[in-house]
Amino acid sequence: MKVIPVPCLSDNYAYVLIDDQARQVAIVDPVEPQKVLPVVEQTGMKLKAILTTHHHADHAGGNAQLASVLPELEIYGGDKRIPHMTKQLNDEDEFMFGTLSIRAIKTLGHTTSSISYFVQDKQSGEAVAFTGDTLFVGGCGRLFEGTPQEMHTSLNLKLARLPKDTRVYAGHEYTRANLKFALTVDGSNQALKAKAERCATQQCTMPSTIAEELETNPFMRVDQPALQKATGQTDPVQVLAAVRKMKDNF
């Protein structure tokens, strides 16, 4: 299993997911097909599916063009707002993509259509998660259609329980801004300081890992004293709500 990040728009990322054994590929959020298709062509493998993380146009906006060119594509998504969706996924649905196992995780908070895709190569033990605009490196998405409770559930009761070495691929390159904010609420966190220094010179900071996010992402550290002190809250959901509001105004 391989993942190729493809920069799109100003700060979006699409991802080409490669199953070497089955010699086929899927694309996660191919918002600009003209940038993603050449990468697929270079693999020499067949494009079989689109994995759509949510319905926003900067993620699902390429579905129509690809469906018109390749009508046999399977297009997965979380609700009927996903353009040209052929298979709607519910929470914890599992399916095989070639030799890879994919589990849909309904990760509410940013939108009610949000699906994170947990992909495992059972032979090698590798695992990756495509988290769209739910989990960013060092941050999380704005609560456009959801509540702090839903985002807390998505981040800390679902994604946090994935294997710690799971590689995390987020929908946008917001890392430097996220970590700059994180340092204002968790400034004594040495792992966070080290990550901010490391990411300062990286053009693409993906992938992260679940382990790194648990150490450095303030939205996944809502039970930690530093975040409780910064927000004046102790309940994890209220901490998350307060940190989200602070980030919105940062």
Amino acid occupying residue 41: E
Handedness of CA 43, 47, 48, 52 (dihedral sign): positive
Average pLDDT of the chain to the nearest whole number: 97
Mean pLDDT in residue range 36-58? 97
Q: Delineate the domains of the chain, giving CATH numbers in brackets.
A: 2-248 (3.60.15.10)
Model pTM?
A: 0.97
Question: Residue 45's pLDDT is what?
Answer: 97
Q: What is the pLDDT of residue 123?
A: 87
Cα separation, 77 vs 80, in Å, equals 8
Known catalytic residues are: 54, 56, 58-59, 110, 133, 172
Per-residue model confidence (pLDDT) at position 38 = 97
Structure-block tokens of residue 228: 């409780």
Number of Cβ atoms within 10 Å of the Cβ of 23: 12
How far is the CA of 227 from the CAs of 77, 130, 210, in angstroms?
A: 34, 26, 19
pLDDT at residue 135 greater than cutoff 90 = yes
Reported as a single tens digit per residue, the pLDDT across 85-122 is 999 999 999 999 999 999 999 999 999 999 999 999 98
